[in-house]
Amino acid sequence: MRDLTKGKETATIIAFALPMLLGNLFQQFYNMVDSIVVGQFVGKDALAAVGVSFPILFMMIALVMGVTMGSTILIAQFFGAGDLKKVRAVVDTAYVSLFFAALALTVIGLLAADAILDALDVPPGIHAAAAVYLRILFAGFLPMFGYNTVSAILRGLGDSKTPLYILMAATLLNIVLDLLFVVAFGWGVAGVAWATVIAQGMSFAGGIILIDRRNELVRLRVRELKFDRDMFALSLKLGLPSGIQQTLVGLGMTVLSRVVNAFGTDTIAAFAAAARLDNLASLPAMNLSQALSTFVGQNMGAGKTERVKRGHLSAVIVGVGISIVIGLAVVFFGKPMMAIFSSDASVIAIGARYLFIVGLGYWLFALMFINNGVVRGAGDVMIPMINTLLALWVVRLPLAFWLSGFMGSDGIWLSVPAGWVVGAVFSTWYYLGGRWKTKMIARKAPPSEAAAD
């Protein structure tokens, strides 16, 4: 456990965010390695099949995983306020609710895989492979949700290192299994799916073992688990808007993939590969946002509002600066980056064009996410959802449909930074307004800022 209410704001946030960033980098390698292995050893049709499946999976898990954000916020606030009994109640409730949610979505996913692919107008040449990939990953939802629940609990307590260690081991296992199942055994798309599921199962098991040995407060005690309706209601109140937000993102990605699918296998494969690089590029901003949510939760719980403001400014400076550097890198080195995934010249050219158009807008994405991290950590969870509705559904998707009609795939890519412009402006305006400071659930009497810091 780590107390984020003390120390220099910039150093505290970076020290907490860095293990999360490294952990999420390893988590992104799950999908990247899948794409690289099938793209290089199976072909662009397999790469497209894996790529077209990702938005569907993201949408299926987004609602439930968003709810875990509610648990993280509550744990951070109660921990900051010193109420360990309520911390345990939130932890128990998270374990129980996520278990049943994972089972329900597994059944739904297994039954609906073909219907979902049909609705997205997935080309016949990659439909069967995509269905196989989806069904295997649906079968692995329980360990996936289990690991993410453990990580959410630990982040709320200020522990971002334990999830990193688990993911490092799991990602290395995933790489070995990918090569074994695809290259040695020739299982194709099914091989990378099974490798991912097995690695996720090991990450969940490893997380439970480490928690059992190191942290009595959040140890998983199956026979003693208690479902607290009040805590569940509070978790939903805080987490459901985040879950809906993430679901809207996933649904938006799914709708966008339908636009992309109309341009054929080369564009689908290029988008699949470029999106992996896009996801990596966005990780610093996303992890600063996550770290800031926990930082804000603990400090607002401790009554340190001015410290929160200083932390936000530090995160903006660091996040925007890093995003500008990353954006320039993908703009100038897009083609060699794409060549990692495919040797097909058309796929590389289309993907590099995507990175050129989108890369210069990464700093806007960073500003939007960091602003959202502050208001979410304070408990003002509706605003990030509204921001997503505005940036994605009001701006990006309509522009993608309209611009692609006369600009081709470039029109789809241009819609991405256009949405970020609107999201960054809206989130900055709301943060400066200050209403987020009134949304706390757990708070103890504020000490003087001078004494507290």
Nearest-angstrom CA–CA distance, 288 and 300 = 17
Alpha-carbon distance of 375 to 289, in angstroms, equals 10
Concatenate the DSSP letters of all residues of 293-359 into one string: HHHHHHHHHTT-HHHHHHHHHHHHHHHHHHHHHHHHHHHHSHHHHHTTT---HHHHHHHHHHHHHHH
Name the band, by pLDDT with cuts 50, 70 and 90, for residue 451: very low
Instruction: Kindly state the average pLDDT of the residues 251-271.
Output: 84
Report the range out of 126-130, 245-249, 419-423, 433-437 with the highest average pLDDT: 419-423
Q: Taking Cα atoms as reference points, which of 402, 242, 424, 391 lies closest to residue 319?
A: 424
Least Cα distance to 157 among 85, 75, 61 occurs for: 75
pLDDT at 447: 47
- pLDDT of 376 reads 83
DSSP state of 391: I
Distance CA 15, CA 267 (A): 39
Q: Is the CA virtual torsion 379, 383, 389, 391 positive or negative?
A: negative
Residue 446 has pLDDT above 60, yes or no: no
Measured between alpha carbons, how far is residue 435 from residues 29, 127, 425 in Å?
38, 48, 16
- Per mean pLDDT, which of 14-18, 19-23, 320-324 is the most reliable? 320-324
**Mean pLDDT calculated for residue range 425-438:** 87
Residue 41 has pLDDT above 60, yes or no: yes
Q: What is the pTM of this model?
A: 0.69
State percent of the chain over pLDDT 70: 92
Instruction: Answer for the pair 394, 418: CB distance below 8 angstroms, yes or no.
Output: no
For residues 295-301, average pLDDT: 81
Q: Who contacts 346 (Cβ-Cβ below 8 Å, separation ≥6)?
A: 266, 270
Q: Is the pLDDT of residue 236 over 70?
A: yes
Position 425 scores a pLDDT of 95
Angstrom CA distances, 309 to 300, 306, 347, stand at: 11, 5, 44
Q: Which two tokens stand for residue 349?
A: 């050219």
- Quote the tokens at residue 114: 């073909």
Contacts of 1 (CB under 8 A, 6+ apart): 79, 157, 158, 159, 215, 217
Here the tokens at position 268 are 């689908």
Q: What is the pLDDT of residues 300-355, one digit of tens each?
A: 777 788 888 898 999 999 999 999 999 999 999 999 999 988 888 999 999 999 99
Distance CA 331, CA 200 (A): 33
Q: Which residues contact 172 (CB under 8 A, 6 or more apart)?
A: none
How far apart, in whole angstroms, are the C-alpha atoms of residue 280 and residue 268? 19
Each residue's pLDDT tens digit, 72-115: 778 877 877 778 888 888 888 888 888 888 888 889 889 988 88
Rounded mean pLDDT, 146-167: 77
| pLDDT score of 448 more than 60 | no
> Can you read off the two tokens belonging to residue 301?
């719980």
Range from 64-68, 135-139, 362-366, 440-444 carrying the lowest mean pLDDT: 440-444
Tokens (6 digits) for 437: 């400071």
Cβ neighbourhood burial of 54 (10 Å; 0-12, 13-18, 19+): buried
Residue 62 binned pLDDT confidence (cut-offs 50, 70, 90): low
